[in-house]
Amino acid sequence: MRLNKYLEKHRFCDRQIKTPVVSETNIIGVIPCYNEPELLKILQSLFDCEKTSCTVEVIVVINSGEHDDENVLKQNQKTFQDATAWIKQHKNEQLFFHLIQIKNLPNKHAGVGLARKIGMDEAVARFEDISRPDGIIVCLDADCTVDKNYLTEIEKYFEQQPKTTGCSIYFEHPIDGNEFSKANYEGIVNYELFLRFYKRALHFCNFPYAFHTIGSSMAVRNKIYQKQGGMNRRKAGEDFYFLHKIFPLGNFTELNSTRVIPSPRASDRVPFGTGSAIQKMMASDSKIYFTYNIQTFVDLKIFLARVSEFYSSSAHHPINSSLPPSIQKFVAENNFEKKLIELKQHSASEKMFVKRFFNWFDGFMVLKFVHFARDHFYDPIEILDATKFLMQLHNKKFSENISKKEMLLQFRKWENPFLH
């Protein structure tokens, strides 16, 4: 492999896979795997996918930290052995599976972010071997499955969208069945409804980076991954932080012609995210699930509508009584006027100013405002009420007696009419 500046500077460990790369490889999927008894489900799901024109690789990073107990180590070893045996029995000339077993990761960084990074950096190295800067790095989780057209739709999408830097891939959790308890399915309905509510609320505000940030359903081009410094080592939320480095480049899109099906199971592996949220809901006696007050997003919409005006205004104090009190107080506490002067000084045009503004007022800052408004201005409201208010703001019709599950199905159809 030729010298690569990104890998020299950012990779955590040396090359792990010795098998040569097939020159036609254009998609590499990365799956972090920790204490996972059901890895074979996603491997089988990928194996059952429709045949692609290009060659596809799947890299599984079976990882453990230096302080993990014996049960985790035993499960990881069993997973490695079972997956090794499975791979030997499942041969496909255009789909290759690789296992990386990483032990004793430093406790400070051991977790899903580092495991995902190790796999994605390995994908970079393999694409570099065959000089493929536009190669597609796809992220999955060890407890999800995919539709049969998953790989072919990714291949087709990136061919048809040559300017796409990366994409969010449509997902749907299972919301009924016999595999999990009734409480588990009720919990995942609440959580997925919240995810879709938050994304649609950001759309309502005309926020330019209103995308899902789900680690099991995202893809990015090799050169873009490198350009933005690669994956981080966060123990949770690594997907949110990673994608918000990609969004400002522009041309980030959504792939809605296939599905990732994440698991709805409860988990204590990370402090927040799907598994953690479900565990907390199942441990609670309350059936009520609260989320952000819709007025928060009404205020945010008013503020974001003024962005161009901030550039053209000659006033030293552009934040005045015409803006909602929540916005006035938030920007005052975040040195907005000083930042505005700096942004205008470094912007030769309104278009450049708007771009720089949203590089600053990005997804992190939006979430910071949402939490500020929750803590100081607007009490949380029940998720079903929140979604009803949002539907009304978009003039969407719904039954007044609609259930959360029915509302989720409506949000899915609203977000992705392609599959509904």
Closest alpha carbon to 194 in 76, 290, 296: 290
Q: What string of pLDDT tens digits covers the 420 residues of the chain?
A: 567 999 999 999 999 999 999 999 999 999 999 999 999 999 999 999 999 999 999 999 999 999 999 999 999 999 999 999 999 999 999 999 999 999 999 998 999 999 999 999 999 999 999 999 999 999 999 999 999 999 999 999 999 999 999 999 999 999 998 988 888 888 899 999 999 999 999 999 999 999 999 999 999 999 999 999 999 999 889 999 999 999 999 999 999 999 999 998 655 554 445 555 555 654 555 567 899 999 999 999 999 999 988 887 765 555 666 889 999 999 989 888 888 889 988 888 999 999 999 999 999 999 999 999 999 999 999 999 999 999 999 999 889 899 999 999 999 999 999 887
Q: Cβ neighbours of residue 7 under 8 Å, at least 6 residues apart?
A: 121, 124, 125, 128
Closest alpha carbon to 127 in 242, 219, 226, 231: 226
To the nearest 10°, report the CA torsion of 226, 203, 390, 215.
-10
**How far is it between the farthest Cα atoms of the chain?**
70
Closest alpha carbon to 213 in 364, 382, 49, 62: 364
CA–CA separation, 227 and 225 (whole Å)? 6
C-alpha 367: how far from chain center: 15
CA–CA separation, 288 and 22 (whole Å)? 52
- For tokens 């995919």, name the residue: 146
Strands 218-221 and 166-171: antiparallel
> For the CA atoms of the chain, what is the radius of gyration?
22
SS3 content of the chain, % helix, strand, coil (to 5): 45, 15, 40
Supply the DSSP symbol for 249. G
How many alpha carbons lie under 13 Å from residue 259 in its C-beta half-sphere?
16
Q: Which DSSP string corresponds to 135-183? A: PEEEE--TT-EE-TTHHHHHHHHHHH-TT--EEEEEE----SSSSS-HH
- For tokens 């919301």, name the residue: 175
Q: What global pTM score does this model have?
A: 0.93
CA–CA separation, 126 and 19 (whole Å)? 10
CA–CA separation, 224 and 105 (whole Å)? 27
Judged by DSSP in three states, 419 sits in: coil
Residue 412 · residue 420 · CB < 8 Å:
yes
Q: What integer pLDDT is reported at residue 288 of this predicted model?
A: 76
Q: What integer pLDDT is reported at residue 278 of this predicted model?
A: 55
Tokens of 123: 């994908």
